[in-house]
Chain A
């Protein structure tokens, strides 16, 4: 991240804003509007043509309603087309003012004021008002809704264009949750939703995004059409069609045959085939999904994994570069940080993870295992059993023999959360957030997937939760991540690259424009070649 973005980001997160900071934020919104809106509106041609996506997952109608957004990245594939948010991740900006042209925080961290854009409208022509913002928050019942509702004391709407969120206690992560990790900040039309009801809304959703809903055949196809009244710019492509093609090889075949223009999720040997095919472009995208191995027995003094040397040896045994090359053609990032994504706020950059099997064997010998040992079971989500197998083989090469236990996804998440696993769990998370949210879920006491913790780390975490100064909070969270690395609480594997294919008709695909967003976006920036 460059320093300009950090400054803007730190301004967005820090509660102790000066008057100059508030003006800066407002100016950013005005500038963004002035530079993107006015000249483009003058020159914008009518949208033309159609682009077709080959989607790897079945589209759910709950994704049309921001109120039910789970803490996964996939629904945002639809949200970015159909809806708009007060602030949201955009190219170059993690919290770009969108429906809100400016946002400012009070000095005491107890209030956030949003000023809406006058020109923002829904697809039915109704303006986006403060009432819609309040309504959208109050009806939100998706990921972390309990956290948000518990922290927000009141929402004031002094007029149609101003919304004030009053917090019960200072909450430095308010914008992280409101603007990226949840759907609470994505705005729906109150009058329309009250008229048609929740189920009616899912059948015929209306939003304020760059594309309007046309039709949906459950599990088969979703069609959007350009909304020419979108405040930011008129989309270039008239029609977007999302086709569900669950089988990966078929998706690639459809891309090669020209039936789809963009295909999501092409992996391994198929990605190599995609790379070799003339006319097609392989587009890897950094996802926020980090993967690591978790030593869930390390707090049990009787366990072999209790010894930090054994854990370090396991970390040194993993040949991350080779695995990366084999499975993701080298596009995944080897940041060395097990749980925190490298573009998240408060990310700490560890030293490059080493692959040193000789040192690993030495450490094992020092720990009393010169001939290796039976490490027990290696649990993983079965979708990633190829990764698990590769890591397992590396561990075996230094003498740590384990049995792979791939578990179907839902069962894996349930049993992981219920602390039923032993020995090693290959964890992974693609949830939005920041370093604090990741550490809360996987490292710190009380987290849903935490089998044990270290008191000093827990104390530090509590301290950062109430620290309003961004710089000080950053220092504490970085210290926590350093301790995690020093003690090998978890050993990093990689930050997964999401590999996609783009066909010859596509001009700007939208891949990689929004940092850590695995899908194409913003949709209004996507173009056909020659347009």
Chain B
């Protein structure tokens, strides 16, 4: 078990290292941030001064070394645009993203799971077809478009909900729906296929043969087993949701880390982009590590095979 865990940890560290190298160099390919921080036509001296201020005049490998050294101390650097430590910016916005993701995930599970169960027991009929349409739309419609339509209907025409920002539970409803619909569709599909697999298994057939009511067969015997992969996916999706809500956060002016990333990209704020991407990557890597370890704990075959 120790070898298994230490190998997994090693892979995680390797993944994070590769991610840090990739994001460090790729963000610099986008161009020179100094051109956005000085006035058009600024002198070479002004631009050079800006480069010196941000450490951009050093060789790339030196910049990377300094970046990794400060990362080891939990320092993600200082934002070029906001002149504030990136960690401070990140931690101030993270709770908002977590809050949004939690509500969006709740919505996606409340919609996705029951509709998936219903579709699996009514295969080929109305609820199944309705579920497929729901899935198709959820996976196809771009979240920014969904967000704008929601704002138009519920904020502008009906006046029921605030259009943007944060502060009250009402501010959460539309962005959570826009973000959660895609994942609801994914959960619905997985629930349906998982339920169909379980409903076709021998022990469920036996339960039916014994004369148990259909409701009991589904709720007590099939549902719990079908739920395992769905909840596993939901756990991973929660972390992904926190980090991919960029477009939704921009449309709704939600003050989360997705919007912070958007601002970092817009202003070529290298430390912000590096910091947000690395933190997001770290979250996903850690969640996957925990899941891998839990799998190994639950099922010894996994750690023995590996």
Interface residues of A (CB under 8 A from B): 58, 60-62, 70-72, 141-146, 199, 202, 217-220, 243-247, 249-250, 253-254, 256-257, 259, 408-411, 413-414, 417, 429, 431, 441, 447-449
Contacts and interface: CB of A to CB of B under 8 A. Distances in A.
A142 B33 CA distance: 16
Contact of B163 (A60, A146, A254, A417): A254
A254 B254 CA distance: 13
Contact of A243 (B32, B79, B92, B253): B253
Interface stretch (B1-9, B100-108, B148-156): B148-156
A66 to B, nearest CB: 14
A218 B82 contact: yes
A429 B260 contact: no
A259 B165 contact: yes
A219 B35 contact: no
A414 to B, nearest CB: 5
Contact of B251 (A220, A250, A413, A431): A250
Contacts of A60: 81-83
Interface in B96-124: none
Contacts of B39: 70-72, 142-144, 431
A146 B43 CA distance: 9
Nearest to A441: B41
Given A58-B81, A253-B164, A410-B35, A244 B253 contact: yes
A246 B255 CA distance: 11
A447 B41 contact: yes
A256 B156 contact: yes
Given A61-B84, A219-B82, A414-B32, A249 B253 contact: no
A219 B263 contact: yes
Nearest to B267: A58
A476 B250 CA distance: 49
A415 to B, nearest CB: 10
A429 B156 contact: no
Nearest to A72: B39
B262 to A, nearest CB: 7
Contacts of B38: 70, 143
A250 B41 contact: no
Nearest to A252: B156
Given A146-B45, A429-B40, A259 B263 contact: no
A247 B35 contact: no
A61 B40 contact: no
Nearest to A141: B49
B283 interface: no
Interface in B210-256: 250-253, 255
28 contacts: A61-B84, A71-B40, A143-B39, A143-B42, A144-B39, A202-B83, A217-B92, A218-B89, A243-B165, A245-B164, A246-B250, A247-B164, A250-B163, A253-B164, A254-B164, A254-B165, A256-B163, A257-B159, A257-B163, A410-B35, A411-B31, A417-B40, A429-B40, A431-B39, A441-B40, A447-B41, A448-B40, A448-B42
Contacts of B148: 249-250
B139 interface: no
Contact of B253 (A250, A414, A429): A250
B40 to A, nearest CB: 5
Contacts of B250: 246-247
A239 B55 CA distance: 39
B178 to A, nearest CB: 12
Interface of B: 31-33, 35-43, 45-46, 49, 79, 81-84, 89, 92, 148, 151-152, 155-156, 159, 162-165, 250-253, 255, 259-260, 262-263, 266-268
Contacts of B152: 253
Given A146-B45, A253-B156, A257-B156, A413 B255 contact: no
Given A246-B250, A257-B156, A414-B31, A217 B255 contact: yes
A61 B255 CA distance: 17
A441 B42 CA distance: 10
Contacts, number: 122
Given A58-B263, A62-B83, A144-B39, 16 more contacts: A60-B83, A61-B83, A62-B81, A143-B38, A146-B43, A219-B263, A243-B164, A247-B253, A249-B148, A250-B148, A250-B163, A254-B165, A256-B163, A414-B35, A417-B41, A449-B41
Nearest to A247: B251
Given A58-B267, A253-B152, A259 B83 contact: no
Nearest to B262: A246
Given A218-B82, A247-B253, A250-B151, A259 B164 contact: yes
Given A58-B267, A199-B83, A413 B164 contact: no
Nearest to A218: B82
Contacts of A413: 35, 40
Q: By CB atoms of chain B within 10 A, which of A144, A202, A253, A431 has the most?
A: A253
Contacts of A199: 83
A259 B92 contact: no
A141 B255 CA distance: 31
A245 B39 CA distance: 24
A259 B148 CA distance: 16
Contacts of A441: 40-41
A253 B40 contact: no
A259 B162 contact: yes
Contacts of A72: 39
A410 B32 contact: yes
A253 B84 contact: no
Given A257-B162, A259-B162, A246 B253 contact: yes
Contacts of B255: 217, 219-220
Contacts of B37: 70
Contacts of A141: 49
Contacts of A410: 31-33, 35-36, 268
Contacts of B156: 253, 256-257
Nearest to B39: A71
A72 B263 CA distance: 18
Contacts of B262: 246
A367 B151 CA distance: 55
Which 9 residue pairs are nearest across A and B when measured between Cβ atoms?
A: A71-B39, A448-B41, A253-B163, A70-B39, A143-B39, A245-B253, A220-B255, A410-B35, A218-B82
A97 B230 CA distance: 69
Nearest to A414: B35
Given A245-B164, A409-B36, A414-B31, A61 B82 contact: yes
Contacts of A144: 39
A202 B151 CA distance: 35
Contacts of B82: 60-61, 218-219
Contacts of A429: 40
A129 B40 CA distance: 33
A7 to B, nearest CB: 31
A219 B250 CA distance: 11
A72 to B, nearest CB: 6
Contacts of B163: 250, 253-254, 256-257, 259
Contact of A257 (B155, B259, B263): B155
A58 to B, nearest CB: 5
